[in-house]
Amino acid sequence: MQKRIYLSPPHIGKYEQQLVTEAFVSNWIAPLGPQVDAFERELAEYVGIQGAVALCSGTAAIHLALRYLGVGPGDCVFCSSLTFIGSVCPVIYQGAEPIFIDSEPDSWNMSPLALERAFKDAEQTGKFPKAVIIVNLYGQSANFDPLLTLCQQYDVPVIEDAAESLGASYKGKASGTFGAFGIYSFNGNKILNTSGGGMLVSDDREALEKCRFWATQARDPARHYQHSEIGYNYRLSNVLAAIGRGQLRWLDDRIAERRRIFDRYVEQLGNRDGIEFMPEAPTGRSNRWLTVLTLDPHRCPLTPNQVLDALEQENIEGRPVWKPLHLQPVFAGSLYYPHEEHADFSTTVFTQGLCLPSGSNLTEEDQDRVIACLQRVL
C-alpha cells in the first residue's frame, strides 16, 4: 500500500518550534501569556483591524459575537447553509433559531437574491433577524457589496465567518474584516493550524473587551474571585498561541502553495468533459484552502462518491462538499431560502462536488498520484 495522502494535513515549520520553546523556557504554560498577546497583535496587524481576542475555537468566537449582539431565546439569525455546522451551533447555544440562506454560483457563498427574499419576508412578518452570519467557503470571500448593502438597509449586524478564509481578500480588503465581528479558526485542518483555536476580531475595541471578559469566566476586577455575570472558559493556551505565531509567519507562503496546487489540478484535469472547478470570483482573491470540483451528471459517468471510493482504494483522502445545513436532520423543519425560487444551488453543489487533497505540503509527486487516479477513473 502506498503512503496515505491526506486532504489538508498540518504543515509545521521551524518558527513554530522555536516559539513553543520560548513559551516553555519562560514557563508560560498557561491560558493567557505573552504569546497570546503577541499572537492577537500580529494577527490584527496582518488583516488590518483594530483588535483581536484569541480563543479556544472558531465556534467559541461566533458564540461570543452572538451574545454581544444580544441574540437570545425567540430571536432568529440568518445563516449560510452551505458550510460546516460550527458556523451555526452557537445560534442554538443562545436559544435562537437559524434561518438558512442558499449560496450563489459565482462565489458559492451567501446568495444576495436569497438574502433579499428572506428580508422581504421578515418585513411581512415584522420578525427581523438579530444578526446575519456570512461564511467565506473553502477560502473564498462572499460577495460583500450587495450582502452588506442589504444588511445595512435593514440595520442588522453581520458576523463574518472567515474560519476557512484567513489571508483571502475581497476588493483588496482582508477576509474577516467586513462585519461587526469576524472570526477565524485554527483547527487542525485549517490554513493556519494551532491544533485547535480561534480568533474574534473587530474594529470595536470595547466590544472585544467585553467578549474577552466573558471568555475568561467573567471575572470582575477584584483580587478575590468575584462574578456578576456568567462567562465561559474560552481562552487560548499560551503554548498554542506560540504555534499560531509561527504559522502566521508562513501564511503567505502557504496560500501561494495552495493556489499553486489548485492551478496544477486545473491544468491537468480542467479540460475534461463534465469537470468544473470552484470558480474564483473576480471580486476577490481566494486562499484556495481546498481545491473543490464538481462533476456534471449529464456529461460525467461517475458520481462524486464513486470517485472518492477510487481515491480511497489508492489510499488518498478526498471529501464530499459540506452537506448543506438545511438538509441536516438536526435542522429538519428550518426555514430555507434557495438562490432562486426553484434552484437550490447548495444542494446541487453537495450532490456534484468533491474536495481534493490540497495541503500546502503536498508534493508534486503526491499530487501526480491524485491526478493519475482521477484521469484513470474519469
Ligand X SMILES: *Cc1c(COP(=O)(O)O)cnc(C)c1O
Q: Which stretch binds ligand X (CB under 6 A): 82-90, 98-106, 168-176, 339-347?
A: 82-90
Residue placing its CB nearer to ligand X in the complex, 87 or 94: 87
Rounded to a whole number of angstroms, the minimum distance from the CB of residue 127 to ligand X is 25
Contact call for residue 175 and ligand X (CB under 6 A): no
Residue placing its CB nearer to ligand X in the complex, 68 or 234: 234
User: Binding to ligand X (CB under 6 A): which residues in 188-217?
Assistant: 198
Residue placing its CB nearer to ligand X in the complex, 187 or 367: 187
User: Can you tell me the distance from the alpha carbon of 237 to that of 162, in angstroms, rounded to the nearest whole number?
Assistant: 21
The residue type found at 236 is L
Helix axes 364-377, 304-313, angle to 10 degrees: 130
Q: Contacts from 89-92 at CB under 8 Å and sequence distance 24+?
A: 89/59, 90/59, 90/62, 90/63, 90/66, 91/66, 91/133
User: Which residues lie closer than 8 Å to 100 by C-beta, 6 or more apart?
Assistant: 79, 80, 81, 324, 325, 326, 331, 334, 335, 336, 337
Tell me, yes or no, if 190 is annotated catalytic: yes
User: Can you tell me the distance from the alpha carbon of 347 to that of 243, in angstroms, rounded to the nearest whole number?
Assistant: 37
Contact call for residue 177 and ligand X (CB under 6 A): no
Q: Which of 14, 127, 190, 210 is catalytic?
A: 190
Contact call for residue 287 and ligand X (CB under 6 A): no
Edge-to-edge strands, sheet with 131-135: 51-55, 198-202, 181-185, 158-161, 131-135, 76-80, 97-101, 336-337
Residue placing its CB nearer to ligand X in the complex, 83 or 202: 83
Contact call for residue 83 and ligand X (CB under 6 A): yes
Contact call for residue 87 and ligand X (CB under 6 A): yes
Among 35, 57, 141, 286, binds ligand X (CB under 6 A): 57
The residues that touch ligand X, with contacts defined as CB under 6 A, are 57-59, 83-84, 86-87, 135, 161, 163-164, 185, 187, 198
Active site residues: 190
